[in-house]
Amino acid sequence: MVLADLGRKITTALRGLSNATVINEEVLEAMLKEICKALLEADVNVKLVKRMRENIKSVIDFEEMAAGLNKRRIIQSSVFNELCKLIDPGVKAWQPVKGRANVVMFVGLQGSGKTTTCSKMAYHYQRKGWKTCLICADTFRAGAFDQLKQNATKARIPFYGSYTETDPVVIAQDGVEKFKAEGFEFLVVDTSGRHKQEESLFEEMLQVSNAITPDNVVFVMDATIGQACEAQARAFSEKVDIASVIITKLDGHAKGGGALSAVAATRSPVIFIGTGEHIDDFEQFKTKPFVSKLLGMGDIEGLIDKVSELKLEENEELIGKLKQGQFTLRDMYEQFQNIMKMGPFNQIMGMLPGFGADFMSKGSEQESMSRLRKMMTIMDSMCDQELDHPQGHKLFQRQTTRVSRVARGAGVSVRDVQDLLTQYSKFAQMVKKMGGIKGLFKGGDMSKNINPSQMAKLNQQMAKMMDPRVLHQMGGMSGLQNMMKQFQQGSTQGHKRGGGGGS
């Protein structure tokens, strides 16, 4: 069962709880049975599922629960917490330090996605403004250097490798030295894999690691191998000090449960996930937002991060307008252009409450993109007066011939134009709310400029944009807010793991 299905099944089970008239042991049992079945079908380890079930049952004591307490909510939040525990080893993820050389070494079996993921990670940090480079220390696989070179060239990332040198240790060392001397901040070292865990691979891995003393060893795990992940993760972590995990191929038909729950065996946090072959198909991994997304509850934090990446604060004109509560159709057009630049549209949509699971599967990416393009085509048929009107939708309401003119011009139906205007008025409300938050756009990082109560207001606004049917399924507004609050409270606990990996 793919992850999107898992999310849907758990949501359905939780909804059963909301629909039940009385909450008792029997109802809880039925719900747990459904959830556990779904987890097992998604390849989550039997022992972990059993433990999760016991944990939830131990939290819920029907006799002790005061009558006034909301049992539904307690059960729902304990399910949420247990799902988080399943994939969260409770160890804080390694963070690179700006202004010095951070060496990241990749390990994993052949075909797990190392080379692809190296490029994705380098690209990710490059876009965030780090001075980044790639080093190919894979001399085992024919064509390995060409593959990395191709990726690096496409993404304009400086790279190092050799066609003649056969010792990976020498290449890794030379590359790291060279780039360190040139003041690079983020050095990614790709290594070779083998078809299975074998001594020669581990031997080589250790030698490279000793030579370059990486700050972070990333173990790349292929989600498609399901239950086998656990043994593999264990074998690698026994040999080398894995500091982080990246799970690849979580798109398509991967039964991601096996990989996600195998992470516990490494005692290292998942830092990113790969969701496709393209360099953009890469997402930062945080447990709570991930589970929240899986259950279709949205990821406001992630959304704000994405919006921060747009460097809106550099768009002084827009900020000025927003502060005055203005947001025109033209502004929306420009924001759509930005969204297209932001990378995979599904990633953004998946962060909106009510969209999660569906947008985690790749299929609808094309559709979403074409929907967005269609909206832009419609706006292309509008005149300046319409685009720049402070309340464009009202202008159209007053003079309805404008609607038919635009529809004709764009080759769409009147209904399509009306839909766009409705979308705009909702979107404008939301954006104005954001603009009204004082200081939101100050400095680079929006997420640091926003306090919990403002966050709650944004969530509320976000919920208003959602399809009311979806909202209803999620237990209405109060249910949503409560969930959101829980997710935002206290980020993952745990102590910081030493950065100086190596061995």
- Residues found near ligand GDP in the complex (CB under 6 A): 108, 110-116, 193, 248-249, 251-252, 274-277, 281
Task: Give every CB contact of residue 304 below 8 A, 6+ residues apart in sequence.
Answer: 446, 447, 450
- From the CB of 172, what's the least distance to ligand GDP, in Å? 15
270-274 vs 244-248, strand pairing mode: parallel
- From the CB of 45, what's the least distance to ligand GDP, in Å? 22
- From the CB of 93, what's the least distance to ligand GDP, in Å? 19
Question: For the packed helices 300-309 and 452-465, what is the interaxial angle rounded to 10 degrees?
Answer: 100
Cβ proximity of 78 and 60 under 8 Å: yes
- Would you say 101 or 294 has its CB closer to ligand GDP? 294
Residue type, 321: K
**Residue 277 touches which of ligand GDP, Mg ion, none (CB < 5 to 8 A by kind)?**
ligand GDP
C-alpha distances out from residue 306 to 301, 345, 381, Å: 9, 11, 29
The residue whose two tokens read 């987890």 is 39
**Residue 274 touches which of ligand GDP, Mg ion, none (CB < 5 to 8 A by kind)?**
ligand GDP
- Would you say 112 or 209 has its CB closer to ligand GDP? 112
Task: Give every CB contact of residue 263 below 8 A, 6+ residues apart in sequence.
Answer: 87, 89, 221, 233, 245, 247, 269, 270
- From the CB of 160, what's the least distance to ligand GDP, in Å? 17
**Residue 252 touches which of ligand GDP, Mg ion, none (CB < 5 to 8 A by kind)?**
ligand GDP
**Using only C-alpha atoms, what is the Rg of the chain?**
25
Candidate segments 35-43, 107-115, 312-320, 387-395, binder of Mg ion by CB under 5 A: 107-115
What values do phi and psi take at 181, rounded to 5?
Answer: -60, -30
C-alpha distances out from residue 432 to 30, 304, 458, Å: 44, 15, 11
- Would you say 140 or 427 has its CB closer to Mg ion? 140
- From the CB of 270, what's the least distance to Mg ion, in Å? 20
- Would you say 21 or 166 has its CB closer to Mg ion? 166
Q: Which two tokens stand for residue 292?
A: 């929240």
- Would you say 277 or 467 has its CB closer to ligand GDP? 277
x/- string (CB under 5 A) for Mg ion, residues 56-95?
----------------------------------------
Q: Total number of residues binding Mg ion (CB under 5 A)? A: 2
Residue with nearest beta carbon to ligand GDP: 274
- Would you say 10 or 137 has its CB closer to ligand GDP? 137
CA dist., res. 346 & res. 299, Å (int): 13
**Residue 286 touches which of Mg ion, ligand GDP, none (CB < 5 to 8 A by kind)?**
none
- From the CB of 192, what's the least distance to Mg ion, in Å? 7
- From the CB of 253, what's the least distance to Mg ion, in Å? 22
**Residue 108 touches which of ligand GDP, Mg ion, none (CB < 5 to 8 A by kind)?**
ligand GDP
**Residue 102 touches which of ligand GDP, Mg ion, none (CB < 5 to 8 A by kind)?**
none
159-160 vs 270-274, strand pairing mode: unpaired
CB under 8 A, 24+ apart: contacts of 62-71: 62/24, 62/25, 62/28, 71/23
Cβ proximity of 236 and 197 under 8 Å: yes
Q: Which of 11, 102, 115, 132 binds Mg ion (CB under 5 A)?
A: 115
CB burial of residue 142 (10 Å; 0-12, 13-18, 19+): exposed
Residue with nearest beta carbon to Mg ion: 115
The residue whose two tokens read 């994939």 is 87
270-274 vs 282-284, strand pairing mode: antiparallel
- From the CB of 174, what's the least distance to Mg ion, in Å? 19
CA dist., res. 165 & res. 289, Å (int): 44
- Would you say 114 or 124 has its CB closer to Mg ion? 114
Candidate segments 110-118, 203-211, 246-254, 369-377, binder of Mg ion by CB under 5 A: 110-118
- Would you say 118 or 348 has its CB closer to Mg ion? 118
- Would you say 139 or 308 has its CB closer to ligand GDP? 139
- Would you say 114 or 433 has its CB closer to Mg ion? 114
Judged by the rule CB under 5 A, the positions of this chain that interact with Mg ion are 114-115
